Structure 1
């Protein structure tokens, strides 16, 4: 070895020897006999009755009577034994806690999506392209309230009147039997998500389909659980609070979930082409995943709305109010009530389950009515601009918000004809010409 490397080699050897010595003696204690004439370095490995078991530095183990040691060594042995017992209890508690957590129906705390980007009210008096783009951006950021806020004030006032009239007609029993069951479904899935994902039916899915399903179903269930909770929306709140405030509160609650749903699909597959724009009229061509449509828009108080919708708005509002006035309250939303009744047949037993086996048994109703669930999930997905399926196969094409139709063409609010004109943005045949009105 060259002479210049000798100091470095010596330093390295000393370092390793020092480390080895420290590691070997790190846990060793000093033990002194009763007379104080002999002291040894050894590691205590146990205390059995009136004897302490010591492991010498050479690995040999010896047993020494406690009364053969000086008082400080006896105290040291007893202190070490107490520490071991305490640490053992702590360790057992940690292991039991981990086992309990692993066996729990859901993680604690429950996972939550990241916060959605801040909301900004849609601007008015923009060119048609910029107006539509801002709405799409806001919705993909999780803020479905942008669709409501993009309506002229007079339209929003009409919606407020319709909602108030419907809320006054409705009763708590009907509300709980519909909205309450949907919220319960979200609660049953989110708060027992480990049981949901461990269902033999669900675990049969291919890995990619399983991951996609888990993301989408848990996120959607989270939106139902939070968004439809009494703290966010209730029949009494709809009766006493302006709809604008109700929409804002709902949006604040579900925006993180909606934004996360959009993030799973990436960029929008929607292309908007402005064919013509003159003063208060514009013709727009919209293509979504190969489907084309042409929509004529008209500007009202700075807001662009489909002309067909504007032409029928007053009549639709009048019809909606008349239908609500003539209803008994319990028959206002038959589609929602019927679906919620079907949901309640399994969400209730799922929620009441105390074991995974009970939960899986309750879930069987979902799969026995798979076709109905596919339709229901597709409908809810369309409402928030997301298409998905429990089986991992989407019953609809598309990958996200596709224009105003993503909110079910506004028809979802009342099931009345004439309120669905936003569907012209993406519905119909391969190329629907709606420019002639």
Structure 2
């Protein structure tokens, strides 16, 4: 895998090691004696602020991103107009609709997605439709006790006032904006005040305190008070914990890891070069719940794929019951993973370069994958809905509460998973308020 974090690396036996934690209440050995600078955060989400109570501001003001897409030039816009006219879609369409966003985590317009690659766009819609018709990815025995899991992420210093009752609360990172010790402690104190049997937290790229490379000098010797007893927060960083649910007669193993493909400057935490393998062999095979900050590529992700392809391969290997993540705000929602040929075809189509409709029309390999997606989706529907077949499936949850780059918790439904053992009969939790 190679080193993706100074002092944190994969050993020959496949384990990720790092600086030991000195923070009180940490569930496992993790690097927590860190902080962030108050420089402007770029890439995903927002411009950082040193205030622990400030809302996550729009990343329209971000200025230091190294991953921002360059707006289309005048020549590119003219070529887009000519191509649209040639396809009979009408040159009267505003060419600005075909520009990608200058912000790397913004969702492109439907028009841009169609013109960039109509085959990829249609395959995404087909895949979403078959997942909807196929239903929940897991089946629950009628008398099986349920474990209720509440999934949240990307609160960015904000505190939703209402959350539904659950046995387990998971926060998948980006608690803060600037990632200072004060901001993080404020969020941790809020989480400690919530009444849940277990509360698990991982870091996100904005939580700079936890990464030795991005900690600020002012926080070098600061520690986080994680609480104790019923208030205790379990912080996971390349580590697992086994949770005992005595009332249900079951245990669950949860593994958490914060690393993400690079999307910003040195003030962002746990970054590794995009395309580098920071995941293979790092997730224990007995993991029931996987918590990461980045999504697996192409799943509850941006259409062009801002998630990690190596994480996707690792999830294919482990196939946990539940995978919780955030990071890409506009990917908020839930999705079943059935680990079948339809999913393989969808992911191959997602990896295609977006080179316009003419290339799509003559690209034989793309059409073969589209045919495989259609046939495999049909067979999967017959297997699950007609024959009642089951397999080792996964529920994926992008639990980001922040709406795009608005600085508001507009994704106003927490992801509530009431049946983690089997059929995940998804219910929506109480509406969240700022």
- TM-score, normalized by length of structure 1? 0.23
Higher helix share: 1
- TM-score, normalized by length of structure 2? 0.23
The structure showing larger relative contact order (alpha-carbon pairs under 8 Å, at least 6 residues apart) is 2
